[in-house]
Amino acid sequence: MKVAVIGATGLVGSVMIKLLGERQFPVTSFVPVGSDRPGERHVVFGGKKHRVVTVAEALASPPDLALFSAGGDVSRKWAPAFAEAGTVVVDNSSAWRMDPGKKLVVPEINADVLVAEDRIIANPNCSTIQMAMALYPLHRRYGIRRVVVATYQSVSGSGTKALKQLDSERRGEPGEMAYPHPIDMNALPHVDAFLENAYTKEEMKMVNETRKILGDDTIGITATTVRIPVTGGHSEAINVELGDDFDMDEVRALLAGMPGVSVYDDPARNQYPMPLTSGGRDEVFVGRLRRDESHQRALNMWVVSDNLRKGAATNAVQIAEYLVQKGLLKADARQAH
């Protein structure tokens, strides 16, 4: 089928392109889309160079599938036009996540909500995806009453400009600032813009998106999101209050049995997830599992994932794979539409 990647020259877009090849997605025609000197740049897919085109050019000959990762403004403007043309859009921005008419999907959790009529499907926030993956089997078994999470997020989550800032600071050279403060040798409790309630957008994404994915608005969630000087991989310290008492061995078994989750937890051998553990991997790693000694029904865990892969590109491609597997996305679907 004909597949377009909107934002093909960005960090997430480039990983999407890589994954389409790695996972052997059925691409017969590939269209990379970018705003950075379209027509002058090329990307490689399937062993061939492909000219980067504009969004308007891609829409003129609509693809069957469009993976969007070019920011909320681009998604709000162009995703409906592609959907109207019959294209299935999987959007990585925050534009459609909390739209009540759009599905917010982590395939291992709630892909079954998707139907043939879904033309714009939202890909969740990176920090939300990995947390939801770890919470889901526990919520299904015990019910979750409250979650307290603090994140330790890599600079790649802010894009190329942030990576360049970190690199410049480490080399002791002046450079363009992606953040309001230095990031090297620092930790910024400031991920995305601050809101009127004193939380950041990132923190509220974790609250609202997690409830939508798990299908439970009663879960109490509070988050503090922090940017740290790591180039890739997000880490999260999560405290979970469950609805029922639990057995730690059963908790480990539930997490180990969750597709896409890897329990990596042997402190006696210094085994616990780290950003380096997750690099280039699609699993969500869980470790430092322990009962919260201050609360009878609570436990702590440390969750790490590659934010550009499962936190973004992998999840988007998995959504597309599910649609193909279930016959909801076909090469002739756009023509039929």
* Active-site residue set: 126, 234
Per the structure block, which two tokens stand in for 189? 């409790």
CB 228 within 8 A of CB 166: no
* Pick from 300, 291, 255, 263: nearest CA to 134: 255
How far is residue 328's CA from residue 229's CA, in Å, rounded to a whole number?
41
Per the structure block, which two tokens stand in for 6? 């909107």
Letter for the amino acid at 144?
A: I
Give Cα separations from 209 to 48, 88, 108, 145, 156 (angstroms).
Answer: 38, 21, 15, 16, 21
Half-sphere exposure of 186 (CA within 13 A, CB side): 15
Contacts for 26 with CB less than 8 Å, ≥ 6 apart? 1, 324, 331
CB 52 within 8 A of CB 9: yes
To which residue do tokens 């019910």 refer? 143
151 - beta bridge partners?
Answer: 225, 236
To which H or E segment does residue 226 belong?
strand 220-227
How far is residue 272's CA from residue 237's CA, in Å, rounded to a whole number?
12
Per the structure block, which two tokens stand in for 312? 């973004």
CB 114 within 8 A of CB 146: no
To which H or E segment does residue 177 belong?
none
Q: 136: which DSSP letter?
A: H
CB 66 within 8 A of CB 88: yes
Per the structure block, which two tokens stand in for 147? 């979650």
